Amino acid sequence: MESKQTSIMQKEIFEEPAVIKKLTETYITPDGEINIDLPEKISNIVIVASGSSYNCAAIASPLVIEYADIPCDCEYSSEFVLQKKHFVTPDSLYIFVSQSGETSDTLNAIKAIKKEGVKTLCITNAKDSSMWKLCDYQILSDAGEEKSIASTKALCAQIFCSILVILKILSQRGADISGQINTMRRLCTYLERIIMDSDKIKDAAKTVAKYENISILGNKNYYPVAKEGALKMKETCYLNVMAYPFGEFMHGHVAVLNQTSIVIAIIDEENAAFAQRNLEKIRKNYNPKIVCITSVQEVKAGDINIYIKTKRKTKAIFGSLLTLQLIACTMAGILDKNPDSPKGLTKVVKD
């Protein structure tokens, strides 16, 4: 996938399979053990972060509830600091996510909750950062230096590490996680395949770049994936892209489609019937252009349908995220924007 000039952002997206392979080799032992430290007892989890790292938190939170059967919330760091009371038990675990380990709002959140004696864990790309030193437990997301303002490979690494936390909790209970381990080990190859087979993604980017009114729809874990896709397009293309849960979009928000619009829909097996019904209503009432990113081969609800082949939810999350990153990066090239240094944005870079 070539734009006018290869950007740092594109290069870092293409590094994601290698990052995942490295993390797999670091944290999953040959006999299938998860090589991270966690408290033995965890009653509830709260994940706190900002920016793209918050979208990691929002992707991970429902996975914790679904697979680990533990209450889990996610909060923006800036909102967390302003909140006067937090739910804390002796076995609460508060997880803080930051690429740099120096995000000021997140550091303030750690300092605030540590006063209550709670156990803390950080997921960061910066060993020995301020966050690393403040927390009781640490996971190095180890994505290498990320220079582009728009986070891609660092976010991918954060999500992978968040899933490792879930698997560690399950293994500490004696659960059989061999199936999930196999899925994680195959993730690198899966992402490589999406990058190599990117003609549909390039076509989608050319189409989406023609529009200024863009809505991205997803359910559950895929709603924060949609939010992250919208953030990437905002950061790199300066477009006002909005993300919504499928059902909520139909409650008033859908009126934005009275303008010339394009809809990007993320569809998996769990929401396929629901999503297709809503897309039929949307097409009938507003007739926007529709792009579908789907792990269900039978879904042909879009004008462009990008098939990210997998039956595993965790892989589909990474696949849909990678697809949106590639669309945003390609759009920036088409629109003659520099995705690496968006005007007015800065970034703390740590390796």
Q: What is the pLDDT of residues 56-102, one digit of tens each?
A: 999 999 999 999 999 999 999 999 999 989 999 999 999 999 999 99
Residue with tokens 């809809």: 263
Q: How far is CA 245 from CA 221, 249, 275, 295, in A?
A: 10, 6, 10, 18
> What does CATH list as the number for 195-334?
3.40.50.10490
Residue with tokens 């007015």: 344
Q: What is the dihedral of CA 306, 205, 264, 214, to 10 degrees?
A: 180
Specify the pLDDT at position 3.
44
Is pTM beyond 0.85? Reply is yes
Taking 80 as the threshold, does the pLDDT of residue 50 lie above it?
yes
Specify the pLDDT at position 343.
72
Specify the pLDDT at position 345.
67
pLDDT tens string 286-309: 999 999 999 999 999 999 999 999
Fold identical between 8-193 and 195-334? yes
Residue with tokens 């529009």: 211
Q: What is the largest CA-CA distance in the chain?
A: 56
* Arithmetic mean of pLDDT, 311-334: 96
Q: How many C-beta atoms surround the C-beta of residue 131 within 10 A?
A: 24
Please state the φ and ψ torsions of residue 167, each to the nearest 5 degrees: -65, -35
Specify the pLDDT at position 84.
86
- What is the residue-wise DSSP string for 216-246? EE--TTHHHHHHHHHHHHHHHH---EEEE-H
* Arithmetic mean of pLDDT, 314-341: 94
Specify the pLDDT at position 150.
87
Residues 6+ positions from 20 with CB-CB distance below 8 Å: 156, 157, 160, 187, 188, 191, 318
Q: Which two tokens stand for residue 267?
A: 């569809």
Contact 116, 92 (CB under 8 A): no
Cross-strand bridge partners of residue 119: 93
Residue with tokens 């804390």: 88
Taking 80 as the threshold, does the pLDDT of residue 145 lie above it?
yes
* Arithmetic mean of pLDDT, 217-238: 95
Q: How far is CA 273 from CA 143, 284, 300, in A?
A: 37, 17, 12
Cα dihedral across residues 25, 31, 34, 36: positive or negative = negative
Instruction: Tell me which of 162 and 197 has the higher pLDDT.
Output: 162
Q: Quick check: helix, strand or coil at residue 24?
A: helix
Instruction: Tell me which of 220 and 242 has the higher pLDDT.
Output: 242
pLDDT tens string 9-43: 999 999 999 999 999 999 999 999 999 999 999 99
Contact 265, 217 (CB under 8 A): yes
Sketch the domain layout of the chain as residue ranges: 8-193, 195-334
Q: How far is CA 257 from CA 145, 188, 210, 289, 297, in A?
A: 40, 37, 15, 10, 27
Say whether domain 8-193 belongs to CATH 3.40.50.10490.
Answer: yes
Q: How far is CA 200 from CA 26, 193, 207, in A?
A: 33, 13, 11
Instruction: Give percent above pLDDT 90 in the chain.
Output: 91
Q: Quick check: helix, strand or coil at residue 150?
A: coil
Specify the pLDDT at position 5.
62
Contact 6, 148 (CB under 8 A): no
Q: How far is CA 196 from CA 14, 311, 326, in A?
A: 10, 20, 12
Question: Phi-psi bin for 71: left (phi > 0), alpha (psi -120 to 50), beta?
Answer: beta
Contact 164, 35 (CB under 8 A): no
Specify the pLDDT at position 2.
45
Residues 6+ positions from 82 with CB-CB distance below 8 Å: none
Beta strands in 56-148 (DSSP E): 72-76, 92-98, 119-124, 137-140
Specify the pLDDT at position 102.
95
* Arithmetic mean of pLDDT, 190-208: 95
